[in-house]
Amino acid sequence: MVQTNLSGKVAIITGGSRGIGRAVAQRLARDGASVVINYVKSKDRADELVKAIEDAGGSALALQADVTDPGQIERLFDRGMQHFGKVDILVNSAGIRISKKIIDLTEADFDRLFAVNLKGTFFACQQAARCMASGARIINISTTITRMIVPEYSIYTASKAAVDQITRVLAKELGDRQITVNAVAPGSIDTDLFRAGRTPEQIEEQAQMPALGRLGEVNDIADVIAFLASDDARWITGQTIHANGGVS
């Protein structure tokens, strides 16, 4: 692992207590950033992560907020800035997956998924745009499935395709402030979210899809995000980086 230099930076990671978000919080803290770990219900996991980061010499704060509520997003940023003084990096990692055939999807399914994956990402980006200084970084989580045809993923794929487009537009809007906006599109990553509802046979099938012949790990994505959060990625913006092990 090549360590990036994030000393003096402050990062907010939505959905930071679990899965990819948790790995991102650990990686950015290891690289010197102070991290705000956002959670909705997993207080114990968030607090345990804060302790682990602090025990390793880092700085972290766990804050509860439901990203489907713009008011709670605003309070998340306000409390993070009160504690650390600023926000330099936003990683929108909060997300859910609902996979059903279109005839089985309900309006409640649609509203819930878009509220987390799209509305949450949009209003977190809006709040970041209001309070971030020049040279900040916004990194959204998309999905490789936007380039594939996968049954039962209609609303999930649609929500993430919208995240890709928001990323491109915001990169142009915020470019005059030298704020970069990018998305990372993982393939199949071995998380609780990925395994939910899948049989061992389906998981093994997914593991054989990448050219590299394995499921992705959360650190595979955290490393890409750490790069995009660093000054080394200053000339990359408006992009969706497909970190998927070679899935075609």
Q: What is the CATH number of the domain that holds 130?
A: 3.40.50.720
| 107 domain residue, yes or no | yes
Alpha-carbon distance 53 to 32, whole Å? 11
144 DSSP 8-state letter: G
The owner of tokens 């490393």 is: 223
| 56 domain residue, yes or no | yes
Listed in sequence order, the residues at least 6 apart from 114 whose beta carbon sits closer than 8 Å to its beta carbon are 155, 159
pLDDT of residue 1: 55
Looking at the 3D structure of the chain, how many domains does it have? 1
pLDDT of residue 29: 98
| 222 domain residue, yes or no | yes
pLDDT along the chain (248 residues), means of 10: 85 97 98 98 97 98 98 98 98 95 98 98 98 97 94 96 98 98 95 82 90 95 98 98 92
Q: Is 229 helix (H, G, I), strand (E, B) or coil?
A: helix
| 203 domain residue, yes or no | no
| 201 domain residue, yes or no | no
Provide the annotated active-site residues: 156
Range of the domain at 15: 10-190+218-242
Alpha-carbon distance 154 to 158, whole Å? 6
CB 15 within 8 A of CB 38: yes
| 86 domain residue, yes or no | yes
| 199 domain residue, yes or no | no
Report the predicted TM-score, pTM, of the whole model to 2 decimal places: 0.95
Alpha-carbon distance 11 to 113, whole Å? 25
| 206 domain residue, yes or no | no
Neighbours of 69 (CB within 10 A): 15
